[in-house]
Amino acid sequence: MPSKNSLPLDTLASIIRSRRTSKPALFEGGPSPTFVRNLIDIARHAPNHHRTEPARFYLLDSQRIHLVGRLFAEIVRGDGSDPSLLKKADRKAQEWGKAPGLLIVTCHSDKSSVLAQKNPLVTQEDYATVSCICQNLLLLMQNEGISTKWSTGQVWKHPDFAKAINMGSPTLEKVVALIFYGYSKEHIDARTLAPLDDHLVNFHAKVED
Ligand SMILES: Cc1cc2nc3c(=O)[nH]c(=O)nc-3n(C[C@H](O)[C@H](O)[C@H](O)COP(=O)(O)O)c2cc1C
């Protein structure tokens, strides 16, 4: 039975279905950092085994976005011997550096902690929690007309990355998502998925049919 706080199912379904990955190159301006901070605070309300609160957030200003873009370009460029990678690196530096908004979300998990020693799954569960938080945030942004892209472009491989974002505990934090966000006129249709019955074992099916 719907609770007194329930939204119509169609409303929630439409937000979930219409969230698509957008191209940061097409973003034109973004919401205020204060507004994004508020959304992050809401998004944190996700299931979290052992209540470890593993997510750490780095909300970058334009100077740091530009720097992270440059660091990623250096990773993409490699040793500089492949002309196609040089081109890609330039494109990425442009695309990342000009993004109006970038939030980096990491998972803080200490394998040597007493909790992790007792519960070896804790690192995996922490990652699951951070992923839930990221999806919460993407949906909140979608609802506010803010386009997003979750990226795992491996900028963290750059030796200067942790310092560039003032990472709190570089040895314990792993990047889960680089969330690019901004306003975009691009419209992308909902994604078509495989039929649910291909992926669902439903032991109720026979009773309900
Ligand atoms: C964990 C994760 C990592 C991702 N990393 C990248 C990435 O590095 N580059 C990229 O273009 N898209 C990335 N994406 C976005 C996916 O490519 C995208 O979700 C997928 O193509 C489905 O499209 P949709 O989000 O529009 O439904 C990532 C998504 C997730 C969940």
Q: Is 125 exposed, middle or buried (0-12, 13-18, 19+ CB in 10 A)?
A: middle
What integer pLDDT is reported at residue 3 of this predicted model? 82
**Quick check: 209 pLDDT over 60?**
no
H and E: helices and strands count for the chain? 8, 4
73-85 pLDDT, tens digit per residue, is: 999 999 999 999 9
CA 2 to ligand 1 center in whole angstroms:
32
Structure tokens at 53: 């609160």
- At residue 185, φ and ψ (nearest 5 deg) are -90, -10
Among protein residues, the one whose CA lies closest to atom 15 of ligand 1: 150
Whole-number Å distance between alpha carbons of 106 and 91 = 25
Q: Is 106 in the pocket of ligand 1 (CB under 6 A)?
A: no
Over residues 178-195, the mean pLDDT reads 97
14 lines ligand 1 (CB under 6 A): no
Mean pLDDT of 101-130: 96
- Edge-to-edge strand ranges of the sheet holding 147-151: 55-59, 101-108, 173-182, 147-151
Bridge partners (DSSP) of residue 149 are 180
Does residue 67 contact residue 102 with C-beta atoms inside 8 Å? no
Q: Is 24 in the pocket of ligand 1 (CB under 6 A)?
A: no
Ligand 1 atom having least distance to the Cα of 21: 26
Report how far residue 162's alpha carbon sits from residue 85's, in angstroms, rounded to the nearest whole number.
24
Domains (ranges, CATH) in the chain?
9-208 (3.40.109.10)
Which tokens hold the place of 35? Answer: 């507004």
Indicate the pLDDT class of residue 55, thresholds 50, 70 and 90. Answer: very high
**12-40: pLDDT as tens digits:** 999 999 999 999 999 999 999 999 999 99
Which residue's alpha carbon is nearest to atom 19 within ligand 1? 21
pLDDT, greater one: 3 or 165 = 165
